[in-house]
Amino acid sequence: MNASKRHQIFSRLREQNPHPTTELEYSTPFELLIAVILSAQATDVGVNKATRKLFPVANTPELILSLGLENLKSYIRTIGLYNSKAENILKTCQLLIELHNSSVPSTREALEALPGVGRKTANVVLNTAFGQPTMAVDTHIFRVSNRTRIAPGKNVLEVENKLVRFIPTEFLLDAHHWLILHGRYVCIARKPKCGACIIEDLCEYKNKTEEA
């Protein structure tokens, strides 16, 4: 995969979707942080169903803390790993109040110091809430990067580093969303829909399908 191909790929993705964004529903950086913590090993659709009930009742660190553990669990019970996520969310809310004046910090170090927040979650928040050109590599991005050969790597960090290095600067801010959506709806895991793919002729995947 050369630089010219990568530029063409992201040009087409931008043309198809000029203003991509997360499918998680949120209105503040704090709501986004909570939604992303909840989204680990869960679908965005499932998270949105839960937060549509939670956020009207509690959408600040203070309000979520005031719910208490059992009440918080009742809102997120439909989401996988809800027990540990509820505990992490309450601990994170406490730290946001104590250390960050109830605001979501905009640095990787401060975000990764919060319970339930790993590198991927921090990257989503930095990119989506604060407009930083980070790359949150989930299973979709990992698959698309390797399958197309845009940025092949043996592990998530290797793919992340290659994407940040190889993607032209003009596309870097939105590339995370384009790749996730492409992996979620077109370059799907079991049988990619190559026949419906706008970058099929640029992709270097050897086992292309006729699926649309």
How many Cβ atoms sit within 10 Å of the Cβ of residue 185? 11
Q: Do 126 and 119 contact (CB within 8 A), yes or no?
A: no
Q: Which of 120, 191, 201, 208 is catalytic?
A: 120
Return phi, psi of residue 60, to 5°.
-135, 160
Please give the annotated binding residues for [4Fe-4S] cluster, written as ranges: 187, 194, 197, 203
Please give the annotated binding residues, written as ranges: 187, 194, 197, 203
For the record, the structure tokens of 160 come out as 């992340």
Query: Which residues, 6 or more positions from 123, have their beta carbon under 8 angstroms from its beta carbon?
Result: 108, 134, 135, 136, 137, 160, 176
Beta strands in the chain (DSSP E): none
Q: Which of 85, 138, 191, 201 is catalytic?
A: 138
Q: Which amino acid is at 87?
A: E
Residue 162 catalytic?
no
Q: How far apart are CA 111 and CA 97, in angstroms?
A: 14
Residue 193 catalytic?
no
Residues annotated as catalytic are: 120, 138
